[in-house]
Structure 1
Amino acid sequence: MFQILSIKGTVNFLRHAVPISILSLILVLGSLASLATKGINWGLDFTGGTVVELEFSKPVNLEVLRAELSSDEMQGVVVQNFGSSRDILIRLPVKADIKSDTQVGYVMEAGNKLDPQVIQKRVEMVGPQIGKELAEQGGLAVLVALICILIYVSFRFEWRLAMGSVVALAHDVIITLGVFSVLQLDFDLTVLAGVLTVVGYSLNDTIVVFDRIRENFLKMRKGGPEEVVNTSITQTMSRTIITTATTLVVVIALFLKGGTMIHGFATALLMGIFVGTFSSIYVASFLAIKLGINREHMLPVEIEKEGADQDPLMP
């Protein structure tokens, strides 16, 4: 009964697996090329610099403030709202020929021109060495996460499924980083947190699909690998749609209304959700099929008991 219902309602997702896999390969290669040539636009968390938060008595036009800060000493400065139109966050890059205190003085001078009642709420300085260590530790965190996931799925699934899930995770991370590289979006610690969140989200989606694939390989005794995978994806699709839709509602709200401080985090999650959803179907599952997954690989290993080959009637 289970087999008949499953096969009748199955959608042939793998019919489009080849062209989508080619598209994924192009996106991955393009992302790697951009990372190699353009690199990543590291934020002050990684490059070092100074953050100045100002509170004005009235809303401030950011373009006017940027024009006041447009000088050789302030080249590369980032000006953005911080919570409200009266609170301004200014990020100052490290300059070899100018001290950070002097940069802060230029900022206060420009702020006083627009509003004599401006208040300097905080000043934070991140040295280049600390920024470099953060960049190394951030990259190491992503690498360790992928290695731990590889170990986990290797114990939980047959190695062909484990390989498919790890390749899908690497695919999601590379494309997400590639988008930030191509668009030269600011990459700070919040974006790194978003990338690690993408890894967890994508892995969860892949494991749900793979659990159903493993179950159906044991239940659908006459179905081939592609038929079993299509049935499994169809059965889990309602769960995938509901999870993706509810997550997108929150992430889109953060992207539109969350402010500039978490804009990068929301951008990384948006990219990761879209890429991670289709990679669970067209990267992880399709790769497992190409590696030759079949029902025999899902069967538990039979352990022959000692003396089982002897005749029980023999004394």
Structure 2
Amino acid sequence: MSKLGNIGAKLHRGEVSYDFIGKRKLWFSISIALIVISLGGLFARHLALGIEFRGGVEYQTDVKVTSSTVGDFTSAVKATNAKDLGDPVVTTVNDNKVRVQTRPLSQDDIAKVRSAIATEAAVPVDKVSTSQIGASWGSQIANKAIWALIVFLVLVFGVIWAYFREPKASMAAILALIHDVTITVGVYALIGFDVTPSTVIGVLTILGYSLYDTVVVFDKVRENTRGITGSNRFTYSDATNLAVNQTVVRSINTTLIALMPVGSILVVGTVVLGTGPLKDLSLALFVGIAVGAYSSIFIAPALLATFKEREPGMQALRRRVLAKRGATATTASGTPVPVAAGAAATIVNEPSARKQDRPKAGTPVTSSRPVKSSTSAGRPQPTRKPRSKRGK
């Protein structure tokens, strides 16, 4: 078995353990910092909504792409002085195509921009393709994406509640999903990638992935906490921490295996293709899978343990467990020493007893061990002769 496999087996058996739940304040602090950075980037830079959401006109034509292509086409489009043109978005596709996106324009301005692009690319006007997306249609797409996200979260809450019969588990899972979405959207705002329908698909996909990982951990928590109030061995946080340790290696392996192909697609979509739905989808998947694995290990179980520890029954269990662990033994100097449950009676005043039983100098030493009698029930016991005196 590999070294990682040995560690996983020891974690599952509880032979080694990392205190994930005990360090919950650290994980919460890291997540709060990431969320603040994400929200700061979102409000400072805003999302770069694709043309599908904000509406506009898109032009594409074949051209030999050079280092000055983007600047040349940007200047050519601005020179048309079209009304409400704004800043056109010029991108290259591979090394033989250019794409220009503008705000919604009138038919006359669309023709002027199309002619300017054809002139700059040195191609006939009919070689420049155009597609128009109305602002109202883009608004409808954005609203539907938001509603899809809301419906998804509501269904997730209901399904987890029905499966675990525990509203606190649903609440912890939903908060973890919101955590994942916020950080993913913040990364999009900071990097400046366009938000397209492919991005929405990617976000919904990573939510499902994160939820799957969280449910696996919660299922192990339910197994470890079944009938926990009838025992004084573990608190709810202890059982939850054991569940995380038992599933952490599996979560890490699954995440790494998923990130490798998604990372390859991200590199191809960004470096090779330059733009398109592949880049938008792969970025959402890459960021979401990584953040989802983090929240499934560090955030969702810690939230669940925090919620459950507030229940009166769990608080009473915690007091019993701590009282049991707090059994102490007193040394000869009177210093209390914490000991394991059940061991206090065997070591209380043990050093003192040894000191009292120690014989003084010059005093004959007598054994305190019982001496076997030569008779048993009045009958003499046979004795064994030395070998030299035995008869042949």
| TM above 0.5 | yes
- For the residue of structure 2 that corresponds to 1:223, the secondary structure is coil
Per-residue CA distance 1:216-261 (angstroms, 9 max, x = gap): 2128753222222222112212221221111111111111012321
Amino acid at match of 2:25: V
Aligned to 1:60: 65
Please point out which of 136, 149, 152 is paired with 1:145.
Answer: 152
Q: Give the number of the structure with larger relative contact order, counting CA–CA contacts within 8 Å between residues 6 or more apart.
A: 1
> Following TM superposition, by how much is the alpha carbon of 1:35 offset from its aligned partner in structure 2, in angstroms?
3.4
Tell me the distance in 2 between the aligned counterparts of 1:13 and 1:125.
52
Aligned to 1:273: 289
Please point out which of 104, 110, 122 is paired with 2:120.
Answer: 110
TM-score calculated relative to the size of structure 1: 0.82
Aligned to 1:42: 49
Preserved contact between residue 55 and residue 119 of structure 1 (Cα < 8 Å): no
Aligned to 1:231: 242
> Following TM superposition, by how much is the alpha carbon of 1:180 offset from its aligned partner in structure 2, in angstroms?
1.9
Superposition pairs for residues 59-138 of structure 1, below 5 Å? 59-61=64-66, 63-70=68-75, 71=78, 73=81, 75-82=86-93, 84-95=94-105, 99-112=109-122, 116=123, 120=127, 122-138=129-145
- For the residue of structure 2 that corresponds to 1:251, the secondary structure is helix
Aligned to 1:213: 221
Tell me the distance in 1 between the aligned counterparts of 2:196 and 2:45.
17
User: What RMSD, in angstroms, separates the aligned Cα atoms of the two structures?
Assistant: 2.9
- For the residue of structure 1 that corresponds to 2:131, the secondary structure is strand
Amino acid at match of 1:108: A
Aligned to 1:202: 210
Distance 1:4 1:189, change over 3 A: closer
TM-score calculated relative to the size of structure 2: 0.67
Preserved contact between residue 117 and residue 128 of structure 2 (Cα < 8 Å): no
Identical counterparts, % of pairs: 25
Tell me the distance in 2 between the aligned counterparts of 1:25 and 1:250.
29
Aligned to 1:179: 187
Please point out which of 253, 263, 280 is paired with 1:264.
Answer: 280
> Following TM superposition, by how much is the alpha carbon of 1:96 offset from its aligned partner in structure 2, in angstroms?
6.9
Tell me the distance in 1 between the aligned counterparts of 2:175 and 2:168.
11
Larger Rg: 2
Tell me the distance in 2 between the aligned counterparts of 1:281 and 1:65.
44
Amino acid at match of 1:272: G
Amino acid at match of 1:284: A
Tell me the distance in 2 between the aligned counterparts of 1:37 and 1:144.
28
Aligned to 2:174: 166
Distance 1:19 1:119, change over 3 A: farther
Per-residue CA distance 1:249-302 (angstroms, 9 max, x = gap): 1111111012321222222222111211111122211111111258x79xxxxx
> Following TM superposition, by how much is the alpha carbon of 1:76 offset from its aligned partner in structure 2, in angstroms?
2.3
- 5+ unaligned residues in a row in structure 2: which ranges? 1-8, 315-392
Amino acid at match of 1:6: R
Amino acid at match of 2:247: T
Preserved contact between residue 62 and residue 79 of structure 1 (Cα < 8 Å): no
> Following TM superposition, by how much is the alpha carbon of 1:66 offset from its aligned partner in structure 2, in angstroms?
2.8
Preserved contact between residue 255 and residue 267 of structure 1 (Cα < 8 Å): yes
> Following TM superposition, by how much is the alpha carbon of 1:125 offset from its aligned partner in structure 2, in angstroms?
1.1
- 5+ unaligned residues in a row in structure 1: which ranges? 298-315
Please point out which of 234, 240, 244 is paired with 2:251.
Answer: 240
Amino acid at match of 2:190: V
Preserved contact between residue 12 and residue 246 of structure 2 (Cα < 8 Å): no
